[in-house]
Amino acid sequence: MTRSRIAGFYNLTLDERRAQLADAADLPLSDLLPFNSLLPTDIASHMVENVVGTFSLPLGIALNFQVNGRDVLVPMVIEEPSVVAGASFMAKLVRAGGGFTATSTDPLMIGQLQVLDVENAEKAAEQILANKAELMAHVDAAESSLKSRGGGARELEVRIIAESPIGKFLVVHLVYDVRDAMGANAVNTACERLAPKVEAIAGGRVHLRILSNLTDKRMAKATCRIPVKELAFGRGDPTGRPYTGEEVRDGIIEAWAFAAADPYRAATHNKGIMNGVDPVVIATGNDWRAVEAGAHAYAARTGKYTSLSTWSKDDEGNLVGELEMPMAVGIVGGATKVHPAAQAALKLMGVTTANELAEIIVSVGLAQNMAALRALATEGIQRGHMSLHARQVAIAAGASGELIEKVASQMVAEKMIRMERAEEILKESQG
């Protein structure tokens, strides 16, 4: 049984953290070895083209997460400071209210066929719908291991695009259950198989045959409820009075309202959500461009770009957060199967279905959203960011080992976090 609370984790050495992590996850340390080794170039060179090397990023563990009553240790691959700490801290507050509750739809992807040159779009649409069962059976008749695992065609829809730069045309949507795969290749293959049949039935010419990344039939949703007293905290400036829970809660709701109403704010608000989402998507070898594309297209679904999350209070005054978004991620196929660290990440989280992974990812997105809103609604984002930012500046200035912390904390104390100052302090420290 995994424990996601590990006291003082940030104070440990890297080796101690790995040992504690394996213990908390109830896994042999060897299962986590891929986290501290580079992706072998012979694997890399089979993944993409023209490989000359690999590029690594930090992998941190978000602690304290409890999703649907289960403790989860969450691997996050990210270059930005404060994200892992922010997610872990918010997960701790959410835990006090029972953790995250998450749900997801069936893993239904949409494949699109663009049908051009039909004489009468309405008539062609009717013909396709009249032959729906036959068309879906044709897709499913193909040899596919996905079918034997319970996936396959689920629905066929037709849309008429009345106006476009090339005039009116028809679009067929194949709704396809991809089970535990992200499904892009599976859907594209199914679309290619379907195309000649659609042409035969509707006339015209099938042009594009490709999945849509607006996977609004493959959604995941997380909710959390934080007892208002958990939100109270003291100011960084000890002379100021502490923030009350009510103040923090109402500040978060006001901050969310800004994103709900204004696309300029919503873009940054949703970026904060993706700060939680993408690192887990990347750690598990999934396609984060696909998830990003789906998230933003969904955020603009009404014609006006808006917040992906909502924040409110319940009758007892608790803060309630909800995040619902498309989540096309898999645990088989793509890079998830070939990247050893992605395999280790899935093992660490103990996920056995793509749905479970999606549910964890939206929970982390919601936690990260709350971390940003809480900071913005109270002390401002820079306070928390500064010490970590200072460390990065110190490293960039050439500090290593203990000097990183020394140079960084002096810059924070002086409220001057600049490369030139880091270089000066470094020079002074080195005598």
Nearer to ligand NAD, 59 or 211 (CB): 211
Distance CA 424, CA 282 (A): 37
Distance CA 77, CA 84 (A): 9
Q: Is 181 in the site for ligand NAD (CB under 6 A)?
A: yes
Token pair belonging to 41? 């170039």
Burial level of 227, CB count in 10 A (0-12/13-18/19+)? middle
Token pair belonging to 340? 């050893």
Token pair belonging to 28? 């042999």
Distance CA 160, CA 169 (A): 6
Give residues 279-338 in contact with ligand NAD (rule: CB under 6 A). Answer: 287, 290, 330, 332-335
Q: Which residue is nearest to ligand NAD (CB)?
A: 333
User: Mask of contacts with ligand NAD, 101-140, x by CB under 6 A?
Assistant: ----------------------------------------
Determine whether 92 is an active site residue: no
With CB under 6 A as the contact rule, the residue among 186, 274, 370, 386 that binds ligand NAD is 186
Determine whether 424 is an active site residue: no
Burial level of 244, CB count in 10 A (0-12/13-18/19+)? middle
**All residues at 6 or more sequence positions from 258 whose CB lies less than 8 Å from its CB, including other chains:** 265, 269
Distance CA 138, CA 194 (A): 7
CB of 202 to ligand NAD, least distance (A): 25
CB 206 within 8 A of CB 358: no
Nearer to ligand NAD, 106 or 423 (CB): 106
Token pair belonging to 33? 């070895």
Nearer to ligand NAD, 178 or 344 (CB): 178
Nearer to ligand NAD, 71 or 180 (CB): 180
- Of 50, 74, 71, nearest to 277 by C-alpha is 74
Nearer to ligand NAD, 81 or 107 (CB): 107
With CB under 6 A as the contact rule, the residue among 83, 100, 153, 179 that binds ligand NAD is 179
- Indicate the residue type of 378: T
Determine whether 347 is an active site residue: no
User: Mask of contacts with ligand NAD, 187-216, x by CB under 6 A?
Assistant: ------------------------x-x---
**Choices 183-191, 201-209, 223-231, 416-424 (CB under 6 A): range interacting with ligand NAD:** 183-191
Burial level of 264, CB count in 10 A (0-12/13-18/19+)? exposed
Give residues 22-51 in contact with ligand NAD (rule: CB under 6 A). Answer: none
**Choices 30-38, 159-167, 174-182, 411-419 (CB under 6 A): range interacting with ligand NAD:** 174-182
- The single residue of 31, 80, 216, 423 carrying the catalytic annotation is 80
Distance CA 99, CA 101 (A): 7
Nearer to ligand NAD, 321 or 333 (CB): 333
CB of 185 to ligand NAD, least distance (A): 3
**All residues at 6 or more sequence positions from 405 whose CB lies less than 8 Å from its CB, including other chains:** 391
Determine whether 385 is an active site residue: yes
With CB under 6 A as the contact rule, the residue among 37, 120, 145, 429 that binds ligand NAD is 145
CB of 140 to ligand NAD, least distance (A): 13
Cα–Cα separations (whole angstroms), residue 148 to 177, 191, 334: 12, 18, 19
* Residues constituting the chain: 431
- The single residue of 385, 405, 423, 424 carrying the catalytic annotation is 385
CB of 351 to ligand NAD, least distance (A): 12
- The single residue of 132, 138, 173, 271 carrying the catalytic annotation is 271
Residues that bind ligand NAD (CB under 6 A): 145-146, 149, 151, 178-186, 211, 213, 287, 290, 330, 332-335
